[in-house]
Structure 1
Amino acid sequence: MRRWLALLVAATTSLVLIALLVPMALLIRAVAENGAMSRATAAAESVAVAVGTPDLGLAVEQVSRPVTVFLPDGRTVGDRAARSDAVRLAATGRSVTAEADGGREVLVSAQSPGGTAVIRVFVPDAELMRGVREAWLALALLGIGLVALGIVLADRLALAVTRPVDGLARVSHRLAGGDLTARAEPGGPPEVRSVALALNHLAGRIDELLAAERESVADLSHRLRTPLTGLRLDAESLRDPEEAARVQARVDALERAVSAVITEARRRSAGRGSCDAAAVVRERVRFWSVLAEDQGREVSISVPDGPLPVAVGVEELAACVDALLGNVFAHTPEGASMSVRLQPRPQGALLVVEDAGPGFDAAALERGASGGGSTGLGLDIARRTAESSGGGLAVSRSAEGGARVDVTFSSP
């Protein structure tokens, strides 16, 4: 926008200056020519006074320019010059001005005792254009200066408009990235200030709606936990052990699905946060190690000693680690070993979870797909958590033939 405004002002200013300076340049040239011709005419008239007197030669010598006097008897006084048609026309008693090689000639007729004499004063082109080129150069420099000044003023004006617009764009990108604290600074023209105020109002409204959504999610959590607990108690009261186990498994699956939905809703509502991945992973592995010890599983962990910040909230990262470790316990036999490694990467971190179980293929990444009768949401939760930070998730075979899940997180 700044470039287009500068070009527009440059074009407009150039047209105005051309319309003004070209006639002025022509006027300067005409004034210079008229001045030179007037001086030549005055010199010719001063010589004409001496025609027919003995002082004619002295009068010609006193004129500081080429002067020729054509006498009626055919003789000439002063500089030599050809008797042109203009001289013969002036001999009829008329004063004329004619073009000549290298300039102009002023012809003034004067009466003498023997007839009409013609005084010719030659005006060279250099005298006709004296001072004109300098004046034209001054006008050209003035025009260029005015165009440059117009461009600078247009650029300052455009900057006053584009700077607030650029600020609005940056705030919009921050809001789109999840930073709901971003607000625009009203400035610039009234229309731009109005847009900034509207954008701030929209950001505040979004924040209010997300707060209401968080409250709704919390209320949903309480509402669903109670009937799930009732179903679990009903399942435990069944007399048929097989039927009780089947219903209990379905209740567990339903509870995991509800937990996943609530966790996902909370993650979207809470926005993007950050935490120390090393502390979270270390704490969650310590939590699951109790169950691993009961099942005779060997657990190895490798976590950096210092902090490793990632662009994921504490609750979201904990849910991601729980989902990955929960999959190991759910889909591998008791006694199968597992390992958890967290290592720094350029601008982020890499979490690797491996086990010695049967493994699974890439189809497990599809939402709701599972080979073990579960909801299949565990890996989907981990994938969404990684992608929310700008990372990703990959599934492959471990060195022991089991599953390997690589989860990358970006730094805040």
Structure 2
Amino acid sequence: MRRRVLLLVGATTSLVLVAFLLPLALLIRDVAADRAVQAATVRAQSLSALVATTDAAALSLSVRQVDTDATVFLADGTTLGAAADRTSLVELAFHGTSASGDVPGGREIVFAVAGPTTTIGVIRTFVPDARLSAGVGRAWLLLIGLAVVLLAVSLVVADRLARSLVRATISLAAVSHRLARGDLDARADPAAPAEIGVVATALNGLAGRIADLLREERETIADLSHRVRTPLMALRLDAEALAGPDDAERIGSGVDAVQRAVTQVIEQARRRGVDPAGSSDAAEVVRERVAFWLVLAEDTDRRVGVDVPDGPLPVAVARADLEASVDALLGNVFAHTPDGTDFQVALWAGADGGARLVVADAGPGMDATAVRRGTSGSGSSGLGLDIVRRTAEQAGGGLRIGASERGGLLVTVDLGPPA
């Protein structure tokens, strides 16, 4: 933008200077030539009276004193003063016509001196080109210098103006980037020049509206999540009242897991800005969640293949988020495949750090569009795979969906290493 402003001002100023200074330069040249011709004409005319009243000897001396470039041609053929040829203008002057004309090297001026009955002589003076253009070169240099100064001043002023515009634009872009990163406290300067200030005011209003909407959304989610705690507490009391201790412990563990998830939702809903990055051991989390789901797998006659290394595999995902992602993947297997469908869970270290998690089943498979948020073909919310995708992308990885070797669904999740 700054360069474009400078180019525009430079081009406009140059056109104005050319339109003003070019005619002025031509006028200076013509004025200098007219001044030289006028001076030569005055000197030549001063000899007219001498030609009519003075003899040849005195006239020759007077011509040299008055104008060294003047020549007097008498009717008897005598030539006095500077040596010169009898040109066509001289012959024309002997017929009573005074005139002037351009000749090689300058300008020739002739005057006829009339007697009682005929022309008694012709005065010819010559103005060389150097005298016609005397002072023109210096005047043109001054004009060129003036043009350069004016152009430089206009560019400096335009640069200062462009800097203020560019600075305001860059500041406005920086504020928009901060808002995009989740810094909703960022505000633009409404005192920016011209239309940029209008855009800054509109951007500030938009940022305020977004902050209000997010605050309302967080409060709504927190309120809804908090309402779940009451039925969860009732479920816990019912679980503790069961006769079988194993059933009570199992149901109580499930209620605890749901309560932890609800608590996490409340905390995330009230958290401002971008969630802080966390880290966890992917191997430990996957082993624990697979062990949790093995009980249900035994009840539904599913064979589970587990390939998880012993060593720690640190990834850039908080433990709670990773647990939710693993649960979403395994929950999809139980929700979208019939009982007795086998599945396999594998985890290994990534090539550049982090880890790769693969869940493959032998079920009917799933459309790849199921990764879209809210898309589901079985009446569920359609958020499970989207949760996994967002978690993987926040960890610097990604999610891919394909077909397993046994025709079922193959989900590959890449998780980046901690910073």
Fold match, TM over 0.5?
Answer: yes
3-state DSSP class of the match of 1:68? strand
Structure-1 residue corresponding to 2:289 = 288
Determine the structure 1 residue equivalent to 2:17.
Answer: 17
1:6 and 1:299 map into 2 onto residues whose CA distance is 67
Partners of 2:210 and 2:351 in 1: CA distance: 35
Is 1:103 the counterpart of 2:109? The answer is no
2:58 counterpart of 1:55: yes
* Alignment partner, residue 35 of structure 2: 35
Counterpart residue identity of residue 324, structure 2: A
Q: Distance in 2 between matches of 1:342 and 1:317?
A: 16
Tell me the secondary structure at the aligned position of residue 163 of structure 1.
helix
Unaligned runs of 5+ in 1: 238-247
Give the letter for the 2:277 counterpart: C
The CA distance in 2 between the partners of 1:303 and 1:121, in whole Å, is 116
The equivalent of 2:140 in structure 1 is 136
Residue 215 of structure 1 aligns with an amino acid whose one-letter code is: E
Which residue, 121, 127, 141 being the options, matches 2:125? Answer: 121
CA positional deviation for 1:158: 2.2
| Contact 1:275/1:314, CA 8 A, preserved across alignment | no
Question: Match for 2:388: what amino acid?
Answer: A
User: In the alignment, what sits opposite 2:277?
Assistant: 275
Q: How far apart, CA to CA, are the structure 2 residues paired with 1:141 and 1:31?
A: 20
Structure 1 position 227, deviation (Å): 4.6
User: Which residue number in structure 2 is paired with residue 407 of structure 1?
Assistant: 413
Residue equivalent to 1:380? 386
The equivalences for 1:142-161 within 5 A come to 142-161=146-165
1:57 match: secondary structure:
helix
TM-score by length of 2: 0.70
**Contact 1:364 1:379 survives alignment (8 Å):** no
1:277-307 deviations in Å (ceiling 9; x for gaps): 4x15345225325436766966443598685
* Equivalence for 1:242: none
What does 1:290-305 align with in structure 2 at a 5 Å threshold? 290-291=291-292, 299-302=306-309
1:165 aligned to 169, 174, 185, which one?
A: 169
Give the direction of change, closer, same or farther, for the CA distance of 1:376–1:181 in structure 2 (3 Å limit).
same
The more displaced of 118-127 and 398-407 is: 398-407
219-228 or 107-116, larger mean C-alpha shift: 107-116
Name the CA shift for 1:227/1:49 in 2 (closer, same or farther; >3 Å): same
**1:214–1:270 Cα contact (<8 Å) kept:** no
CA contact (8 A) 2:89 2:99 kept: no
Taking the aligned partners of 2:383 and 2:27, their CA distance within structure 1 comes to 88
CA distance in 2, matches of 1:360, 1:377: 20
Change (3 A) 1:80 1:322: same
How far apart in 1 are the matches of 2:34 and 2:311?
94
The answer to whether the 8 A contact 1:397-1:403 is kept is: yes
> Are 2:175 and 1:180 aligned?
no
User: What residue is the counterpart of 1:338 in the other structure?
Assistant: 345
Output the CA distance in 1 between the equivalents of 2:66 and 2:310. 108
Q: Would the alpha carbon gap of residues 150 and 38 (structure 1) be closer, same or farther in structure 2, given more than 3 Å must change?
A: same
Q: TM-score, normalised by structure 1?
A: 0.71
Kindly report the root-mean-square deviation, in angstroms, between the aligned alpha carbons of the 2 structures: 4.7
Read off the aligned partner of 1:143 and give its amino acid letter.
Answer: A
For the 8 Å contact 2:218–2:270, the answer to whether it is kept is: no
1:368 and 1:34, CA in 2 relative to 1: closer, same or farther beyond 3 A?
Answer: closer
Residues 3-44 of structure 1: per-residue CA shift (max 9 Å, x gap): 554454335434432443234213311221123223423543
**Structure 2 unmatched ranges of 5 or more:** 242-250
Length, aligned pairs only: 387
Aligned to 2:402: 396
Deviation at 1:142, TM superposition (A): 2.9
The equivalent of 2:206 in structure 1 is 202
Amino acid across the alignment from 2:216: A
Q: In 2, Cα distance between the equivalents of 1:405 and 1:326? A: 13
Q: Give the whole-Å Cα distance in 1 for the aligned partners of 2:94 and 2:402.
A: 112
Q: Percent identity?
A: 43
What is the Cα deviation at residue 109 of structure 1? 4.8
* Aligned equivalents of 1:343, 1:393: Cα separation in 2: 14
| Aligned amino acid, residue 27 of structure 1 | L
Offset at residue 365 of structure 1 (A):
5.2
1:95/1:399 Cα in 2 relative to 1: closer, same or farther (>3 Å)? same
3-state DSSP of counterpart to 2:127: strand
1:48 offset after TM fit, Å?
Answer: 5.1
For 2:387, the aligned partner's letter is: I
Q: 1:79 aligns with which of 83, 90, 99?
A: 83
